[in-house]
């Protein structure tokens, strides 16, 4: 099993999409990329922590590859928007791939560079080493699924 961390706007919808994807064993939403080890939703919303809303995925690489996950990442949000996704504005809604190791970094950069040619260099997605991930509050976990019940 492997893990990956993706920021692509509000984390509710991407979590729902990945939760239903074959090979994804576990999803969790949280905050990553900031300067503190632990933050709250309210702190992240203030825009001063440096954290982004992030989906943490645990996946079976024998069923779905990291490359396939990154390709899906680019398909399910607009990577050309800086510090926002549709109506949500702020650095916490930025497009960012957090990698765990050099292999993940290389794959993410290769896919981004390939797509950037198609988007005339307009992709705003950041690629950085994962730091200071913390799980979001329980009411954010599986939010869309809970609201359907």
Across the beta sheet with 134-135, what order do the strands follow? 126-129, 95-99, 2-8, 52-59, 24-32, 134-135
Which residues have C-beta within 8 Å of that of residue 38, sequence separation ≥ 6?
134
The string of pLDDT tens digits covering residues 51-65 is: 999 999 999 999 999
How many separate domains does the chain show? 1
**Residue among 4, 10, 45, 134 flagged as catalytic:** 10
User: So what's the pLDDT on residue 148?
Assistant: 72
Nearest-CA neighbor of 59 among 71, 48, 68? 68
The residue length of the chain stands at 149
- For residue 74, give both structure tokens: 């680019």
Task: Say what percent of the chain tops pLDDT 70.
Answer: 99
Question: Model confidence over 86-125: pLDDT tens digits?
Answer: 888 989 999 999 999 999 999 999 999 999 999 999 999 9
Q: Do the beta carbons of residue 83 and residue 91 sit within 8 Å?
A: yes
The pLDDT of 122-135, averaged and rounded, is: 97
Q: What is the mean pLDDT of the chain?
A: 95
Q: Distance from CA of residue 118 to its chain's centroid?
A: 22
Active site residue 10: yes
- Does the pLDDT value for residue 149 go beyond 70? no
**39: domain range?**
2-148
CATH, residue 40: 3.30.1060.10
Supply the pLDDT for residue 86. Answer: 82
| pLDDT, tens digit, 9 for 90 and up, residues 3-54 | 999 999 999 999 999 999 999 999 999 999 999 999 999 999 998 999 999 9
């Amino acid at each position: 099993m492997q893990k990956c961390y993706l920021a692509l706007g509000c984390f509710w919808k991407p979590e729902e999409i990945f939760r239903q994807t074959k090979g994804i064993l576990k999803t969790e939403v949280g905050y990553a990329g900031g300067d503190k080890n632990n933050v709250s939703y309210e702190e992240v919303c203030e825009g001063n922590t440096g954290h982004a809303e992030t989906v943490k995925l645990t996946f079976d690489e024998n069923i779905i590859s990291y490359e396939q996950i990154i390709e899906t990442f680019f398909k399910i949000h607009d990577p050309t928007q800086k510090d926002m996704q549709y109506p949500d504005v702020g650095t916490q809604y930025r497009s960012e791939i957090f990698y765990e190791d050099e292999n993940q970094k290389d794959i993410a950069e290769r896919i981004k560079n390939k797509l950037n040619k198609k988007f005339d260099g307009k992709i705003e997605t950041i690629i950085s080493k994962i730091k200071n991930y913390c799980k979001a509050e329980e009411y954010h976990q599986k939010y869309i699924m809970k609201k359907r019940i």
